[in-house]
């Protein structure tokens, strides 16, 4: 194989109560990457589309390449690669834009090299891209983008431990991306460093309830558990119209609604596609009421992760 084209999906991280431990993949949006072998060693980015010129062509300053460089170093390989990256989602959207690029890059490279490593073993390399992008090598975006499905990060130390959680087949996600931007580092820096015992207990109960609700297909339990008493009250102030949008989602039939990742995108979960579409329209109208344009994405929980498309 001399070239390959790969799609890697966007993700919703945190999922209300699961700050830094929950994430799930969606069918759209996502990123595409094209890799071609070249004779001379080293990585070369020949083109980036869809970024409005904001991303660096320097391989040591690009998340996709950071992951690929870590992978090549691990294999002690000096294969030369030319790269085209197509951003199919907005940057700084809270949809795991940097994660999708990292996953697309390292997954495509592993395929191009003859698949010397298992897919799960690519996760640490994808996390290095996240370290560069946000300062923290967290896995709540890259793990679901790489593995597909709804993922729980049980631990990072002493060993990375990720768990895939079964979800009802008819569960649908609505994502609404308002035309504003929230910087991931800023959204993390405003968080309180400590929380009360009362809020911790409440959050732990919601985490346990959400896992049980997803595995049992208990929509009432899912709905009651999609509550964040620690992160959402702080980060929501960065999103104009947040309360109105969340209220509109619930009124339209959503099981719950919260911030996707660091924001500004918001997500909702619903029992079926039709409800998810209605929820998206209601959320978009609520953003419009505060003079903010937005985009809607409706998707089931993507179980595939990255796929070869050419």
Catalytic residue ranges = 130, 184
The CB density around residue 29, as the number of other CB atoms within 10 Å, is 22
Residue 145, H or E segment: helix 142-147
Residue 133, H or E segment: helix 123-134
Q: Is 257 left (phi over 0), alpha (psi -120 to 50) or beta?
A: beta
Nearest to 248 by CA among 174, 180, 171: 174
DSSP code per residue over 159-200? S-EEEEE---TT-EEEEEEES----HHHHHHTS-S---HHHH
> Would you give the DSSP letter of residue 164?
E
Helices marked H in 76-121: 97-112
State how far the Cα of 259 lies from the Cα of 263, in Å rounded to an integer.
6
State how far the Cα of 96 lies from the Cα of 177, in Å rounded to an integer.
12
212 Cβ contact partners less than 8 Å away, ≥ 6 residues apart: 218, 221
């Amino acid at each position: 194989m001399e070239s390959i084209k790969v799609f890697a999906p966007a993700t919703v991280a945190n999922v209300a109560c699961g700050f830094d431990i929950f994430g799930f993949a969606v069918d759209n949006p996502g990123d595409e990457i094209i890799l071609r072998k070249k004779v001379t060693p080293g990585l070369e980015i020949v083109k980036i589309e869809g970024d409005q010129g904001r991303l660096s062509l320097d391989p040591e300053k690009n998340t996709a390449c950071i992951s690929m460089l870590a992978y090549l170093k691990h294999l002690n390989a000096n294969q030369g690669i030319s790269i085209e990256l197509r951003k199919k989602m907005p940057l700084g959207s809270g949809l795991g834009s940097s994660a999708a690029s990292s996953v697309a890059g390292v997954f495509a490279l592993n395929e191009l090299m003859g698949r010397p490593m298992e897919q799960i073993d690519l996760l640490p390399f994808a996390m290095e891209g996240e370290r560069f992008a946000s300062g923290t090598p967290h896995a709540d975006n890259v793990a679901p983008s790489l593995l597909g499905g709804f993922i729980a990060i049980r631990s990072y130390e002493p060993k990375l431990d990720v768990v895939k959680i079964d979800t009802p087949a008819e569960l649908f996600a609505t994502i609404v991306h308002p035309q504003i931007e929230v910087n991931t580092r800023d959204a993390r820096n405003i968080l309180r460093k400590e929380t009360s015992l009362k809020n911790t207990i409440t959050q732990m109960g919601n985490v346990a309830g959400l896992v049980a609700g997803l595995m049992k297909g208990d929509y009432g339990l899912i709905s009651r558990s999609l509550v964040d008493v620690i992160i959402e009250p702080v980060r929501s102030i960065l999103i104009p119209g947040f309360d109105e949008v969340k209220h509109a989602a619930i009124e339209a039939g959503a099981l719950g609604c919260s911030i996707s990742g660091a924001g500004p995108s918001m997500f909702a979960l619903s029992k079926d596609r039709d409800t998810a579409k209605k929820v998206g329209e209601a959320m978009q109208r609520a953003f419009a009421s505060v003079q903010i344009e937005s985009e809607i994405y409706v998707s089931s929980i993507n179980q595939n992760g990255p796929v070869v498309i050419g």
